[in-house]
Amino acid sequence: MSADIIDGKAFAEGLRTRLAAIVADFRAKAGRAPGLAVVLVGEDPASQVYVRSKGKATREAGMESFEYRLPATATQDEIVALVKKLNADDAVDGILVQLPLPAHVNEDLIIATIDPDKDVDGFHVVNVGRLSTGLHGYVPCTPLGCIMLLRDRLGDLSGLDAVIVGRSNIVGKPMAQLLLAENCTVTVAHSRTKNLRDVVRRADIVVAAVGRPEMIRGDWIKPGATVIDVGINRVPGAEPGKTKLVGDVAFAEAAEVAGAITPVPGGVGPMTIAVLLRNTVVAAHRRAGVPLAKGAI
């Protein structure tokens, strides 16, 4: 293996340590802690685990965690009413509605109900527009975490050729906007891209977010490239009945060629919750009128 391993878990822990110190300072100045409200509708096991992890991380950072759990039978109007209540709650700086929602609920409508200045997930169309036009807004947590890892690894990204494989609203599209803002030359590739291997092979930076296990092979990677693997796929393990997590990149193959690569697990995944806390802390400072030192987080 020749590639350096980009340790997202260690980076995220460092970010959360910095956040805890900033939260303590904010509490002293504002007389309260930043508050994050998470709404979970239904009993999806993966969502329940994720919400518990968010709550634990929020409290460990010294922040207020507000959790609202509604049954899968909750009506759209009931969810909208809860979100509006949280919009008006001065103790709440960030609102996150855990996706996916039950099939009878219009996710776009629920997201559109969130106050854009409390939309710490960065999914509201106002924040999407702010990102695309270079204005301040809240950026989806996973792409912002990827940019943090890239800056830490490479420093100045100007002029680098970046290829994103995947065009989702949650990762691919905002990732493209963030890389453009870093002065990269950006290509967004997807399942219908012709000669995908050749497109990926010219990239200095590869961001894999296509949701297909180990789709991107080692011989697709330009020697020395930096590979950010956003994929989290559960596949059969070596033992019968066991599973394991793999990314969208064939890690062992790519690690022989790349200059640096994120592992799965332990790469991008830990960054998502850390950046969610970061966005909430930024929102709290803005809402309270408390200055936040530039570059602090």
Cα 154 to chain centroid, rounded: 20
Q: Residue 272 and residue 77: Cα distance in Å, rounded?
A: 29
E strands, 243-297, are 243-246, 260-261
Count the Cβ atoms, other than its own, within 10 Å of residue 17.
11
Active site residue 84: no
Of the residues 119, 121, 229, 248, only one is catalytic, namely 121
Query: Which of helix, strand or coil describes residue 274?
Result: helix
Catalytic residue check, 76: no
108 as an active site residue: the answer is no
205: burial class by Cβ within 10 Å (0-12, 13-18, 19+)? buried
Instruction: Indicate which residue of 93, 98, 118, 222 is catalytic.
Output: 98
Distance CA 200, CA 219 (A): 10
Q: Does an H or E element contain 145, and which?
A: helix 141-154
In our burial notation (b when 16+ CB lie closer than 10 A, e otherwise), range 268-293 reads bbbbbbbbbbbbbbbbbbebbeeeee
Instruction: Give catalytic residues, as residue numbers.
Output: 54, 98, 121
